[in-house]
Structure 1
């Protein structure tokens, strides 16, 4: 498995793809992250065309097991961020 791109590498690749400088590419990336964070934390969802859909899902209260002791404990309800991958991306990876 290849190593994931770092933010610096992603900004450089984005700047090259956009034909812009790294400063504007970094500002663009930060703006996208801020919009996604704001929407998902407010309970909404964001669709990135060709990539997938990022959304927040609520998990109910449930019983979990402590792996060290085997003790059953109650875990409170919480929220988790999920992502559904777009079919186009799946097909490009597999095809």
Structure 2
């Protein structure tokens, strides 16, 4: 499912316009981003927890030339699934 499909589903399920549903979806993701920036984590019960993680500077290799390059330190978002989500995914049949 992608963003537009989520918006369509919310609009249909709650009998609101797609414009309003899009505003709601973007606001929710805005809250997640704001909390990550402010608190360094965002937790949503039954889904999981997003956290900001620091990645150290390291040496990498250019695959085209084989030359060593320095990769700067960076911050990334990590996600840890809640037990309820893990249980749900465990029941999914893989194709």
2:35 to 30, 39, 46: 39
Superposition deviation, residue 14 in structure 1: 2.2
Question: Could you tell me the TM-score, scaled by structure 1's length?
Answer: 0.80
How many corresponding residue pairs? 90
Provide the C-alpha distance between the structure 2 equivalents of 1:87 and 1:14, rounded to a whole number of angstroms.
25
Superposition deviation, residue 20 in structure 1: 3.7
CA RMSD after TM alignment: 1.7
SS in 1 for 2:79: strand
Query: What does residue 77 of structure 1 align with?
Result: 73
Provide the C-alpha distance between the structure 2 equivalents of 1:81 and 1:20, rounded to a whole number of angstroms.
34
Superposition deviation, residue 43 in structure 1: 5.1
Query: What does residue 48 of structure 2 align with?
Result: 52
- Does 2:6 match 1:10? yes
Query: What does residue 24 of structure 2 align with?
Result: 28
Q: Which runs of 4+ in 1 moved over 3 A?
A: none
Unaligned segments of structure 1, at least 5 residues: none
1:66 to 41, 45, 62: 62
